[in-house]
Amino acid sequence: MKRIFLILILAALGIQIHAQQLPVYSQYLYNKFLINPSVAGSDGYTSINLTTRQQWIGYEGAPQTYSLSAQTRLLKQNYIIRENVFNKKIFKPQTTGRVGLGLNIFSDINGLVRRTGFSTSYSYHLWMDGSTQLSFGLGFNGYFYKIDQDQIVVEDPDDPWLYSDLRKGVFIPDFSFGASIVNRKYTAGFSVLELMEGFVKLGGEAYNELKIERTYYLFGNYDFEIDAKTILQPSLLVKMSEQLMPQADIGLTWNYDNRFWIGAAFRTGSAIITNVGFRKDKFFIGYSFDFTLQDIQRSTYGSHEFVLALKFGDTLRKYRWLDRY
């Protein structure tokens, strides 16, 4: 009986881990750094980004995601790539700063499982010509998994659950890699998260079936300039892992003067996404709503996501210790 109970707990953990293989961000265009470490500092700004997401509103135990990220470019001189929120109108900077740094702290609540963690990124940026930038990035990630004890009742004082690592929490380190290219007309990138495919280990026994599977991302977007202030941007994001079928977000966004945007996307086999946002000085605010197409729609009417971003960089930034770059 004790063995069966622990197996049930492990099964629940396994389901949650597999469900979290592909982080869901409907507004990834705001902050591609969340899925690709090479994006850190690529636009020359120092930015802080807060993302909150409530999956499947009204469904008990549905996933909730909270993320706070920051990124910057280490510069010797004032450096800005003039752009709107979707990487537009890029000009070659007059600076030699090539290094970007990023940090992301996040928390996922998914049924019985709570996952908190962090990711740090180091990126290096190269100008291929006057308008095209090539970037590479490497990240170190740490995930801390823990079962919510408040949702489990243990009547037997000798139950193995009381002595398992799941009760205390399991830490899993990993790495990520990414590459991206940015031009005044297009952006494209490829990344691999969970390179080491860490797994849950309880006591002296390893459960390889509960591993954090390697995840692949491929994104791209292109800017069609309708007039001097209006841009129409088609975009594509493909996500895949070893166990889950490839999933694609196919979207189209209308942007006016880098102050207001509205868009829609189709997530294959999953949802129809609508999003809207606006910019006021250094502040960016975005909201998206996912209309669920899966069977779970009988219990929920969708998912929503908020993004709040603050970008700095229009004033002179000098770092005395950057001569080595």
Of 116-130, 171-185, 205-219, give the lowest mean pLDDT range: 205-219
| Phi, psi at 38, each rounded to 5° | -70, -15
* Whole-number Å distance between alpha carbons of 148 and 150: 5
> pLDDT digits over 11-64, tens only?
445 444 444 455 678 898 888 999 999 999 988 888 999 999 988 777 776 788
141 by Cβ neighbours in 10 Å (0-12 / 13-18 / 19+) ranks as buried
pLDDT class of 305 with cuts at 50, 70, 90: very high
Is the confidence at residue 315, as pLDDT, over 50?
A: no
> pLDDT digits over 183-208, tens only?
888 999 999 998 888 766 544 454 44
Q: What pLDDT, on the 0 to 100 scale, is given for residue 64? A: 85
Is the confidence at residue 276, as pLDDT, over 80?
A: yes
Domains of the chain: 2-322 (2.40.160.40)
Which positions ≥6 away from 202 have C-beta within 8 Å?
10, 164, 165, 166, 170
Tell me how crowded residue 128 is: count the other CB atoms within 10 A of its CB. Answer: 10
pLDDT class of 324 with cuts at 50, 70, 90: very low
What pTM was computed for the model? Answer: 0.80
Alpha helices in the chain, H assignment, sequence order = 2-19, 165-168
208 by Cβ neighbours in 10 Å (0-12 / 13-18 / 19+) ranks as exposed
* Whole-number Å distance between alpha carbons of 38 and 138: 7
Is the confidence at residue 301, as pLDDT, over 70?
A: yes
